[in-house]
Structure 1
Amino acid sequence: MRSEYSGEGLSEDDLAPTPLQQVRRWVAEAHARHAERGDVVEPTALSVATVDADGHANVRTVLMRFLDERGPGFVTDLGSAKSREITATGSVAASLTWPAMFRAVRFRGRAVPVGRDEIVAYFATRPWGSRISAWASDQSQPIADRAALVASYERYAALYPDTGSADDVPVPDGWGGWRVECDEVELWAGRRDRLHDRLVYTRVADGDLDTPEAWTVHRRQP
């Protein structure tokens, strides 16, 4: 079964001057598409790839919770498989994909911890149940069955009852996040006959994602 990629494509003339501006533009358009048509589910779903101690690749999907001039970021248990692998190698790759729009963004670079103040501020915005889950789940570790997981959730729910306050559940010590300090950001836009557009920002100097002189742009073949 094949689909014809009838996207709008992406030309050099349409590209924003910095990776941050371009990615923010596409993320905003993905959110707008979700609101209008509902066919872009979870516009900030971010696939994160790492490598384990044996050199085997690993990938999973999280939600992009941060996006600024320092790079895209996500939250996680700091004892999770992804965190352990990031800590060991420092390398990470991530991607946003919107099939309904025939678009994707690829990030490559190094992972750095998100600051504790940002984590605390973000944690307060999560629904109470999600904050309890951060305590209940020892992420990536084996568990006997779902009943054991639910029992853990209920235990912490009783310990930190919902009072309607943003600080009724403290931030677990082992909960944090990672940000991708990018060396490369690729914009992929699907076209008919598989002649897709691939425009790549590559780091050539110091600067952040919103520093024009830190990046050069080239086109890759599809």
Structure 2
Amino acid sequence: MIEPLRSYNPFDILNSIYEFILDLIMGRGSSYLSNYFFDLYDKYGYSLILLSMFLSSALVVFIMYVIFRINGIYSKQRKSLSPIKNAAEEKKEETVKSEKWKIITEHIESENVNDWRLAILEADIILGEMLDKLGYRGEGIGEQLKSVDKSDFTAIDDAWEAHKIRNSIAHEGSSFLITEREAKRVIGLYKKVFEEHNYI
């Protein structure tokens, strides 16, 4: 005949565990502790198994909850910091573009013809950066301009004209003759392109 499961008072089990811990603190012998373990298991074995399973399950659930909460907090912090980071990056980028354009305007207002050429070369670099940011792909600015749809880029002809003059300066160097008026006109073409796309 199968012996029915016995029921135990949980406080009796906790009291036995307390006595066991107290024996450890008091420094009882190892043989005594071994016998104590066996007696404890023999008396409360099934209940201890259930209790350990319950505590283990509760611990796993608690750990999962903590991990979930940590991930949630981290995600919120990342989202809250993202707009600040993006705003800071945009502000930094605007500052860099403003500084570059300021240098170009200083060059074009110079009385030195070499500064005029340099202003056009630097403006063309900004044009390349703008085309990259707008998503136009190609080997060099010329290829990028070929992929432009005029409906999205009304100043495309101005960009082409300015870029061709830049190429002449790059290929001919100081032998390329340009007047102050023409240099300022070319910079005006670049400015028109940049302003259309709010790039300066």
User: TM-score scaled by structure 1?
Assistant: 0.23
Q: Which has the higher helix share?
A: 2
User: TM-score scaled by structure 2?
Assistant: 0.24
- Name which one, 1 or 2, has greater alpha-carbon Rg: 2
Q: Which has the higher strand share?
A: 1
Of structures 1 and 2, the one with the larger relative CO (CA 8 A, separation 6+) is 1
